[in-house]
Amino acid sequence: MNTKIYQLVLSDTVVIPSKSILVSRKDEGFTLVELMIALVLGLLVSAAALQVFYTSSVNSRRQEASSQIQDNAIFGFSEMQKNLRRTNYGAKSTDAYDEFFMNHLTPQGGVVLTAPEAPEDTSDNWLNGNLSGLVLDGKAIPASLLSSNESANSSSNVSVDNSDQLTIQYQSGREDLFDCEGAAIPEGFYVIERYFVRLDKTITPNTLGLACASAIYEYNESTAGSSTGLDIASYTDSEGDSQNNNLSGDGTIIIPNVDYFRVLFGVSDSIGFATYPDRANIAYMPIPAPSSLDSDQRIVSLQIGILSRSDNPTATQQSNSELSFDILDVANTKLDTDTIAGPTYLRSVYESMILLRNARGGL
């Protein structure tokens, strides 16, 4: 009988035969080549991410700059055009033509080119020119406040020394009308509006903007025809309060960041312009000196143009010295020296042609 003997192992220890076991292990980590490849790939990914960020940032700033120009120029430009369309409403006739034949001789005429000069005899009246019968602070209204080509009152950031100045006039035909400075115009009162480019001192740094200064007055024929004339330094509003006018002052900025302002007159010698507009023979010219206009020439339309820029600098593909602009008849004009040396902005030209509906008759 074979007897099997079992040994009970009460311990958790496992007995392993005593043998030498060789374990082969590979070295852990990166080689130098692998490390360099990883660094290069990381740099490429980082560069791509930075390029995407930069491109997005540039595009965002350009879109913001474009939006700024549209907000500043388009809305202000639209309001300006609305006021210009009122030009010549309420004008008076002359011995030769009716009130719709508008030129430098039209009393209370829409485009202001002339103002009465001081009469030689104090007993004479001030009834001549577009501002017939009007004086300012008891004196003749200075020529510097009238429409003029490259006016000394109107600044410029381009190679042209000065911008133009446009002065218009119209009568309020109803209530709830406002002038370019936001003042309410009583019904039946006249308004003179002067558009020019000046330095905007309300922002830092100071930049040029298109401004408008205005004067409101109630025309009184007897006062206008007197030796003292009708003073437009102030007026009495519908509430009975005296209000000072600002025609010779700085006015109000209506379009900020304007580098240049240009105006052309549409001049015609057609009498039957309203009946036969195709025979108008309109020629556009810079604002002329009154002495260069004939009495049988009339102003029937306006062309206005501005060079507007963004509020904030932005990246552009061209430097300031490479930029050139066409603003109406002013072709290939460049920025002036000081502006070239300054920051780069997004710039755009806005132009408009305005048919003066109150200057279409003329018999």
Residue 333 falls within a domain, yes or no? yes
Res 181: pLDDT: 95
Res 9: pLDDT: 47
Q: How large is the average pLDDT for residues 10-39?
A: 62
Residue 47 falls within a domain, yes or no? no
Could you tell me if 303 and 328 are in contact, meaning their C-beta atoms sit under 8 angstroms apart? yes
Residue 1 falls within a domain, yes or no? no
**In this predicted model, what pLDDT tens digit does every residue of 204-233 receive, in sequence order?**
889 999 999 999 999 999 999 999 999 999
* Structure-token match 């577009």, residue found: 130
CA gap 232, 284 in Å, rounded:
32
118 CB-near residues (< 8 Å, 6+ apart): 139, 140
Residue 15 falls within a domain, yes or no? no
Q: Among the residues of 70-176, which ranges form H helices? A: 75-84
Residue 330 falls within a domain, yes or no? yes
Domain with 310, as residue range(s), is: 55-359
**In this predicted model, what pLDDT tens digit does every residue of 97-114 receive, in sequence order?**
888 999 999 999 999 999
Domain count, the chain: 1
CA gap 231, 217 in Å, rounded:
8
* Structure-token match 């009460």, residue found: 10
Q: Which pair of tokens denotes residue 66? A: 């474009």
Kindly list the distances between the CA atom of residue 120 and the CA atoms of 20, 127, 199, 240, 288, in Å, as whole numbers in the listed order.
133, 13, 38, 35, 26
Residue 27 falls within a domain, yes or no? no
